[in-house]
Amino acid sequence: MENNQGYKKLNVYQKANGLVLVVYKTTSTFPKEELFGLISQMRRCAVSVPANIVEGYGRRTKKDKLQFLYIARGSLNELEYYIELVLQLGYIAKSEYEELTVLRSEVGRLLFGFIRLFEK
């Protein structure tokens, strides 16, 4: 059980979890007709990032760890598109866009570094 708690110490997990919280807060102001559209999609891919980091952390082999970290990276890339789209649709202000973009980029850099540890 203790091994499963170790992921909470990972900076990449902490930042990814923080990104989820900001995505939830931001999407709570979207039009209600987006509940099963963009709200759901953005929240799912945001949650997928730390969830896959946690799942990968618990795997034994490098190959298994990398599989989940690559999924996390894909979800983060998907979120990047949604952030651009909701700005274009006028659902978020430029300041919200910048906050989300900075957080997403920071998580991306940390995730890239974490993946590199296992690719060697």
- Point out the least confidently predicted range of 2-6, 72-76, 112-116: 2-6
The two tokens of residue 73 are: 């990276």
Using an 8 Å Cβ cutoff, are 56 and 64 in contact? yes
Residues in the chain, how many? 120
- Whether the model clears a pTM of 0.85, i.e. scores above it, the answer is yes
| pLDDT, tens digit (0-9, with 9 covering 90-100), for 20-73 | 999 999 999 999 999 999 999 999 999 999 999 999 999 999 999 999 999 999
Local structure of residue 6 (DSSP, 8 states)? G
Which architecture does CATH list for 2-119?
Up-down Bundle (1.20)
